[in-house]
A = this chain, B = another copy of it.
Amino acid sequence: MARTVIYERVALIGLGLIAGSMGLRMKRDGLAGEVVGTARSAKTRDMAVGLGLCDRVTDTAAEAVQDADLVVLCVPVGAMEDVAREIGPHLKPGATVSDVGSVKRAVAEAIGPHLPDGVDFIPAHPLAGTEHSGPESGFPELFDNRWCLLTPVTDSPDAVERLTRFWRAMGSNVETMDADHHDLVLAVTSHAPHLIAYTMVGVADDLRRVTDSEVIKYSAAGFRDFTRIAASDPVMWRDVFLNNKDATLEILGRFTEELFSLQRAIRKGDGEMLHEYFTRTRAIRRGVIEAGQDTDKPDFGRGTKP
């Protein structure tokens, strides 16, 4: 692959799994002239340098964004506003500011007011992750064949085109959409399923007194998959739910309604209804596989850390 620098200097604010993977990919493929990183903890900053995911680290976000052409906020959604307030006065005119948060309306509203004129603001959400957190969990292939959704605030087509090129170079497919629409789609495909998995794992934990450790010992397909989902970063997910409240509650409302109707079918012994329902959901699985968002292999089509 030809090495093409897309941004001369990139600043990563927050150095977790996503930033770590971005840094490794940029360094591997020469997508940035220089990658500067910062994180609140000195230990994380040292680790980032040691892992080679950025060229240098700074103690503060204000320093990190100095002369940066692209600034990516990779902190939990609830921390975005403080970071934006800190970096606002230090941004280079013409810089692009983006983020990797899982909700987009609330993030746009938290960051936007702190950005000066002459900066292009393009919130982004790479649909990628694993159950692990921290820069040491990152790997350069994390974004391969995953979607990155942009919800641009800027009016500049050039800035959007450049960030699109950047994410394509990271391995992603890129699409642009409205922030509210993003939040509704993600409530269905990610936020509600996560809350449900967290809930079921919590229920099982309560029952451990009844069944001792058997719930874990005999953890079968189903629960085992839920525990994986429910092992995701607690701070990130707290912030997701607090910042995509309406769409998540709306989907959970529909979910409960539907669950009650299936419970009633079980109670009444309505096998026909159950069979029809399960046949329909099976067909959806085929759609997901055909859309290339999973394979029918047991590795779930996920990128594996080599």
A residues apposed to B, CB below 8 Å: 78, 127, 129-132, 147, 149, 181, 184-186, 188-207, 210-211, 213-232, 234-235, 237-239, 241-242, 245, 248-249, 251-252, 254-256, 258-260, 262-263, 266-267, 269, 271, 274-275, 277-282, 284-288, 291, 293-294, 296-300, 302-304
Q: A242 to chain B: closest CB distance in Å? A: 6
Report yes or no: A281 in contact with B231, Cβ–Cβ below 8 A.
Answer: yes
A285 touches B223 (CB 8 A): no
**In the complex, how many angstroms separate the beta carbon of A210 from the nearest chain B beta carbon?**
8
Question: A184 → chain B, closest Cβ, in Å?
Answer: 7
Contact of A284 with B190 in the complex, beta carbons under 8 Å? no
A-B contact pairs, 18 of them (CB 8 A): A185-B211, A185-B215, A189-B218, A190-B223, A193-B226, A201-B281, A201-B285, A202-B281, A205-B281, A216-B287, A220-B293, A228-B300, A230-B281, A231-B281, A231-B286, A237-B274, A245-B269, A256-B260
Closest 6 CB pairs of A and B: A193-B222, A231-B285, A234-B278, A298-B302, A230-B281, A189-B223
| Known interface pairs A131-B285, A197-B222, A285-B230; A304-B300 also in contact (CB < 8 Å) | no
Main secondary structure of the interface of A (DSSP, over half): helix
Number of copies: 2
Is the pair B263, A186 in contact by a Cβ cutoff of 8 Å? no
Measured CB to CB, the nearest residue on chain B to A301 is B224
Does A224 contact B300, Cβ atoms closer than 8 Å?
A: yes
A129 to B224, CA, bound (A): 13
In the complex the two chains form, what is the Cα distance from A214 to B147 in whole Å? 11
Q: A188-B215, A213-B287, A230-B281 are in contact. List 12 more A-B contacts (CB 8 A).
A: A78-B271, A127-B220, A147-B218, A185-B214, A189-B220, A202-B277, A228-B285, A228-B300, A230-B278, A230-B284, A232-B282, A256-B260
Q: How far is the CB of A225 from the nearest CB of chain B, in Å?
A: 5
